[in-house]
Amino acid sequence: MAEKKPRRRYSDEERANALAALAANRGNVSLTAKQLDIPPKTLENWAKQRVHPEAAKLGDRKKEEMADSLRGIAWRLLESMPEKIPKASLKDTAIAFGIAVEKARLLRDEPTEIHEQRDNERERLFRERYGAAHDAAAGAGVDGQPQPPDPPHPDPAADPVP
């Protein structure tokens, strides 16, 4: 008969670090469990606060600490990029920078995809730069003269058909 592994005990600090890592991995329990060598069911129970709910509170603080650390790494990577340009590892440095920024944003519950914000900003800039010209052009005809107003829509009740 196979010998059963002794049950491992985790400190609140270890649980909190695991929950912060889980947040950084977008809630991917199997990936985080594999990375940290923790049984997936154990990690899932911590995440759902079935056991050790105090670890979740500590995990929120750990997330903030990890996010700060990742922001620091991102800044150091960004600052090192100019010297990496002549070397082949620029791509790796840029990827590491992007990952560090994304993980920091995930840990702070900030959006990692900002398409909508970018679109709104683009629209605002367009209106600032071209709004008056666009509005003026919209009221002008092909020859630059003002367009006559649209004819009124006929009212079938007022104009009976013979």
Residue 2 domain-assigned?
A: no
Residue 38 domain-assigned?
A: yes
Residues in the chain: 162
End-to-end CA distance of the chain, in Å? 102
Say what the pLDDT of residue 47 is: 85
CA dist 80 and 15 (Å) reads: 33
* Pick from 41, 47, 55, 44: nearest CA to 7: 41
Identify the domain containing residue 118 by its residue range: 12-133
Cβ neighbours of residue 12 under 8 Å, at least 6 residues apart? 52, 54, 55, 58
Residue 41 domain-assigned?
A: yes
pTM of the model: 0.47
Maximum pairwise Cα distance, the chain: 102
CA dist 125 and 36 (Å) reads: 46
Residue 150 domain-assigned?
A: no
Residue 96 domain-assigned?
A: yes
Instruction: Look at the chain and report how many structural domains it folds into.
Output: 1
Q: Where are the beta strands (DSSP E) in the chain?
A: none
Residue 99 domain-assigned?
A: yes
Q: With a cut of 70, which residues of the chain have pLDDT below it? A: 1-2, 50-51, 53, 85-88, 114-120, 122, 131-162
Per-residue pLDDT tens digits for 140-159: 555 555 555 555 555 555 54
Residue 89 domain-assigned?
A: yes
Residue 161 domain-assigned?
A: no
Say what the pLDDT of residue 34 is: 94
